[in-house]
Amino acid sequence: MSYENILFEVNQGVAILTFNRPKALNALSPKTLEEVAEVLDLVKKDQGVRVLLLTGAGDKAFIAGADITEFQKMNPLEARQFAERGQEIFFQLEQLAIPVIAVVNGFALGGGCEIAMSCDFIYASDKAKFGQPEINLGIIPGFGGTQRLARLVGRAKAKELCMTAEMIDAQQAKDLGLVAKVFPAEQLMAEAGKVAAALAAKGPVALRAIKQVIDRGCDVDLKSGCALEAESFAVCFASQDAGEGVAAFLEKRKPNFQGTLTN
């Protein structure tokens, strides 16, 4: 399928969604959001996609924020609908069963920072910048920024970043726990691709279980979280992957994971 504002490709189980409005620094328009939603529906249904990468076209921006030209047209009701639709799509991204990596190659501001935080983890270029500058427009983040940022970097730091509109660089973001790894700009996609390929070769059932147990467990007490872990540990043993993984280890060969349950 062809899209107006994004690019999408799949190669050997790794899908890449590229925000493709470089002249607008890949700003998120309502049309772009709907195209993202379409791609996420495709990814969810395609068992051949094992990993999803998100990145931005050009060398300046991942996503520099929402398309501010759209804000002039919005009344309060339309603004609420825009925020709720963006949140719905970002939850859809967050809840994909497969690993999702944000490959941040430049500015990740406003909605760009928010969609990156909806991914499982972030790899960033050493030229990347992060921030929630909505306060400078007299508004606040609307796509989950206040909530995910507070959960990732702590309540006080999230308040400071949202209230001051401070932009932080990739190393600062890593130090705060927002970014997993920082790479030189020219190596970013290659390094992210290596990790994506490695993840695509791992057991899909176990990857899905890890993602679900960590996400759900963080919202409950430790004992309940460990109960979730034990349940998912048992479910893994209902998959062909568990038998294949153990056999491959004992036979000193690489496993061939299929991601299917036993009969």
All structural domains of the chain, each given as residue ranges with its CATH number in brackets, are 6-200 (3.90.226.10), 204-250 (1.10.12.10)
Q: Give the model's pLDDT for residue 55.
A: 98
For residues 131-144, give the mean pLDDT: 97
Q: Give the model's pLDDT for residue 263.
A: 45
Instruction: Classify burial at 258, counting beta carbons within 10 Å of its beta carbon; exposed 0-12, middle 13-18, buried 19 or more.
Output: middle
- Tokens read off for 87: 């949140």
Rounded Cα gap, residues 76 and 121, in angstroms: 33
Does residue 34 carry a catalytic annotation?
A: no
Which of 78, 114, 160, 244 is labelled catalytic?
114
- The answer, yes or no, to whether residue 191 has pLDDT greater than 50, is yes
- The answer, yes or no, to whether residue 89 has pLDDT greater than 80, is yes
- The answer, yes or no, to whether residue 15 has pLDDT greater than 70, is yes
For residues 204-221, give the mean pLDDT: 95
Residue 253 pLDDT grade (very low, low, confident, very high; cuts 50, 70, 90):
very high
Q: Give the model's pLDDT for residue 24.
A: 93
Helical axes 240-250 vs 204-217, angle rounded to 10°: 110
Q: Tell me the residue length of the chain.
A: 263
pLDDT in tens, 33-66: 999 999 999 999 999 999 999 999 999 999 999 8
Rounded Cα gap, residues 126 and 214, in angstroms: 28
Residue 70 pLDDT grade (very low, low, confident, very high; cuts 50, 70, 90):
confident
Which of 134, 191, 231, 251 is labelled catalytic?
134
The dihedrals phi and psi of 209, each to the nearest 5 degrees, come to: -65, -45
Tracing tokens 């993840």 back to the chain, one arrives at 199
Query: What value does the mean pLDDT of the chain take?
Result: 95
pTM confidence score: 0.94
For residues 195-199, give the mean pLDDT: 97
Does residue 134 carry a catalytic annotation?
A: yes
25-34, 65-74, 138-147, 151-160: which range is least confident on average? 65-74
For residues 111-120, give the mean pLDDT: 98
Residues 6+ apart with CB under 8 A from 247: 255
Q: Give the model's pLDDT for residue 262.
A: 56
Q: Give the model's pLDDT for residue 261.
A: 57
- The answer, yes or no, to whether residue 120 has pLDDT greater than 80, is yes
